Structure formats: C-alpha cells, structure tokens
Chains A and B, each alone.
Chain A
C-alpha cells in the first residue's frame, strides 16, 4: 500500500467526529470522575473524599462477588460461542441461493432490541407457560429459572449463545470466503484432510476476524445489562447480578453516587485493560 501523505489539515476532516464523541464521552466521564472523589449529603453539597470510595469498592465483598460472576459469565460465553460460531461458519454453504437465506435468518437475533430479547427468553423459559421450561420439566429436569440459581445461569448462558453466536458466525464466514480457491486446490494436491486444511489454511487466515470477534464478544459481554436484567433481574437472590446490574442498583436504586462513580471507573478501566491485553497478545505475531 502506498505511503500516506503527511497533512495536518486532515484534522479539519476529523473535527466533527472529535466534537461529537468528545461531547458524549468526556463530559460524562468527567462527571463520573467528579462524583468518585466527593462525598455528598444531597442539596448539591459536596465534600472532598479523595480515593476513599475507590478503596471501599475494591475491598467490598459485594464488588468481588459481582466481578467473579462477571468473569464466569464472560469466560463461559467465550468458550461456547467462539468454537460453536467457527464450527457453524465452516458448515455453511459457500455459494448458491441458500447463503442469503442462512445469513438473513442467522442475523435475526442480532437485530432484536435487547429488552425484547430478555422478555422473549423470560417467556420462553418460564416453567409453567414457556416452551423451554415446560419441555425441560417434562423431560424430568428440575428446572425453575426464578427459584434455582443453576437454572437461572443455564438460561442466561443459553440466551447469550442464542443472541450473539451469529456474530461470530458472520465474522468467521466473511473470513472464510475471502480465502482464495487456489489455497484449497494446493491442499487437495497435497492430499490434506479436512483437519489439516482447517489447521494450516483456514485458521491462520481467520486470525484477524477471530481477534475482532473475541474482542467484540469480550467487550459486549462484559458490559451486558439489559438482557440479563429483563430475564432474571439479577436473581434469584444475587446469583445472576453481573457488574453492570450491580452498578445500576447502587447508582440509581440507592443513589450512592460516590461508590457508584468509583465502581464505574474501575469497571471501565478493567474493560479497557483486558481489551488492550487481548489485542496486544493476539496481534503480536501479526506482520502487519
């Protein structure tokens, strides 16, 4: 690719984006920073509180528990969605009229508003009137999403797999169809089996899209709020209270602005840090 021209005037082209995003990102972020270092007793009366809230949050059992649940959730859905998504993308037809049909049907869950996803799965999983709940109980499982934490987690994971696996499928599929036919022909001449083709041709070529898929799934699952909130409301008890649900409970439910703000910043920082680590690790051997 040709070398880019050096031109400071390009800032003029970027200016509208910078203004719009800065307005939405910097002002709210500064508001949060403000709250995180102050104590308030209402009536716009604020006292300097230093790093006190941060220490409180980092030491609190509640935060540790929510963080643990969040890591478990994110870990599980990455372990399920990425291999499953790749497997389904490999099984898809490469050309023909069926491709469009598959793509449209698979993309459908991605375009449903998140609260509807939660509500739909709630209705689907209820033990008395839901198809899933009724079927599982009929098969002899003791399944009750609103009473039993294990059932709630099962439903939560299944819902996320339903909602987002297609994103991994679409990304992987896009990576697969961009591999030139010549690669496959060469493999056929060498007598390579399906596994060898996957291991030595497809997987290396999928490196970039898989990086993007894992990053996107990590970020989005780490900030997930609406779907689990509508599905279980964080319950039964606190068993499915993920980080963002806990945060909203503290910020809007109890109106503890200081701790909520400190928690927000810690939360945002963790997301940034892990994304950066993922990104660096996965692109380290990338020549480009």
Chain B
C-alpha cells in the first residue's frame, strides 16, 4: 500500500502532462508536418509559430488585452471584497446572512445564461469593447469568491487585535491598512490568486463583451482557426503561451495554496 503511493501520484501527474506535452510538441512543428506525419518529436524543429505570435500585433495584443482586464478585475474585486469581508467576519447587521448567501448564488449563475444580457447591458452603458467592461463583468463571480475566502482568513484573526488598536486611538482606515491587512497577507494572496485564475480562464463573457480594442487572446485564436484554414501549429503555440501566466502565478503562491484552501473555506 505504502509502496503504491508514489506510483499513483506519478501516474496522475504523467496523465496531466501528456496533453500539454502534445500541444508543446505541435507548437514546434509546421502545420504541414502536423497534418502530414505522426511523430512524438518535431522532425523539423521550428520556432516560426512563436515568431509569428511575437511579431504580429493582433496576436500579442490578445495577450496584453487579457492581462489588462485580468489585473483590473483582481484589483477591483479585492478592493471591494476586503471591507465587505471584514464586515461579515466582525459584525452582525440586518440581513447579513441573506446577503452572504445571495452573493454566493451569483457564483452559480451559468455565464451562458448571462451572455446576451451582458452584451446589451454593457452596450447600453457604452462600455462595450473596453477592458473595464470585462473586468467589471468578471466581478460577478470573483467578488463572491474573494469575500468568501477573505472572510475565512479574517475570522481566524483574534478580535483583540481590532479592540487594542481602537483603544490605542487608530482610526478605522488607518488600522485596516496598517495593522489588519498585513495580518491577513496570505489570505489576500490566495484571494488574488483565485481572482486572477478565474478571470484568466473565463472566455465566454470576455469574448461576448469585446470586438477589437480589448479582444482577448481566446477570440484571436478562434478567428485564426476559422479564417486561416486551421493553422494548427500557430494555434498550438498560442495555446502554450496561455499556460505561462498561470504557471508563473501558481509558482509564487505554491506555499499558500494548500493552506489557503483549508483556512479560506474555498
């Protein structure tokens, strides 16, 4: 039984890496080679696909657009969720439990349901095809999640900390930023990670709310797939590049992930 353990973990990780390896393998091939032959390694190793992406503005702006709205969303979600999570963790107020549950129900709203109304709403307020529109729309599911995670972390901070600070004459904003936030640093990191993650992977709303100016990388990929007769090599390279930001972020929070899940009641 004990000897079997590493085997299970290694097999699982291999299973996870196989499709990624196949994508990587294809990204170093030309489309002709992909369609013409089957090989585990590129026969004519080429960096052409990557070169295209890094030199063509419609390609690399897809990544920049995505990164802009994801960052905006993370900042907005955290800025709004921090005081709210504090209120939920420290005070009782009229309708608090109902409000918390209502927030969570928005995590259950299928984006497919809201795609069309979102398009109309953001067109009506003249934010269609802007980064801020996608950033605001993603708040629908990221704010509830951030409040949920942060509330868990905040509730594990003793209330004596707040009381002592107020007795010492700290104003609320001063206390919150200088004393309280450093105490829940790990929680803020974990919440930021999840906001980044869910905004980065969501594509239906991001595509619905943009056309040219703020077009996410996903939309660029779909257009290429249909217009240029399925440039498989290019598509594979673009796909590989979308994995990098996530891998980067996860590397930084690796020590908090497990802890964050446990404390943050995700």
Binding site for B on A (CB under 8 A): 1-2, 4-11, 13-14, 16-18, 20-21, 23-25, 27-29, 31-32, 87-88, 91-93, 99-100, 102-116, 119-121, 123-124, 128-132, 134, 162, 165-166, 170-171, 173-175, 177-178, 194, 208-209, 212, 216, 219, 222-223, 225-226, 243-245, 247-248, 251-252, 257, 260, 264, 267-268, 271-272, 275
Residue of B nearest to A3 (CB): B92
Question: Count of chain B residues with Cβ under 8 Å from any Cβ of A?
Answer: 96
Main secondary structure of the interface of B (DSSP, over half): helix
B84 to chain A, nearest CB (A): 4
For window 117-164 of chain B, which residues contact chain A by CB distance below 8 Å?
117-118, 120-121, 136-137, 139-140, 143-144, 147, 155, 159
A24 touches B115 (CB 8 A): no
Residue of A nearest to B66 (CB): A113
B12 partner, pick from A21, A32, A88, A134, beta carbons under 8 A: A88
B106 to chain A, nearest CB (A): 5
* B81 interface contact, C-beta 8 A: yes
Q: Enumerate chain B residues within 8 angstroms of A264, measured Cβ to Cβ.
A: 110, 112-113
Cα separation A245 to B262 with both chains bound (whole Å): 34
Output the residue of A130, A171, A226, A272 with the most chain B CB within 10 A. Answer: A226
* B204 interface contact, C-beta 8 A: yes
A14 touches B99 (CB 8 A): yes
A5 touches B92 (CB 8 A): yes
Residue of B nearest to A134 (CB): B38
* B243 interface contact, C-beta 8 A: yes
B5 touches A91 (CB 8 A): yes
B84 touches A170 (CB 8 A): no
Q: Enumerate chain B residues within 8 angstroms of A209, measured Cβ to Cβ.
A: 261-262
Residue of A nearest to B120 (CB): A31
Binding site for A on B (CB under 8 A): 1, 4-6, 8-9, 12-13, 15-20, 22-23, 26, 34-35, 38, 40, 76, 79-81, 83-84, 86-88, 90-94, 96, 99, 103, 105-118, 120-121, 136-137, 139-140, 143-144, 147, 155, 159, 197, 200-204, 217-218, 221-222, 225, 232, 235-236, 239, 242-243, 245-247, 249-251, 254-255, 257-262, 265-266
Given contacts A11-B87, A124-B22, 8 further A-B contacts (CB under 8 A): A13-B86, A28-B114, A28-B118, A88-B9, A120-B239, A165-B12, A225-B112, A251-B116
B110 touches A105 (CB 8 A): no
Output the residue of A20, A106, A165, A272 with the most chain B CB within 10 A. Answer: A20
Residue of B nearest to A165 (CB): B12
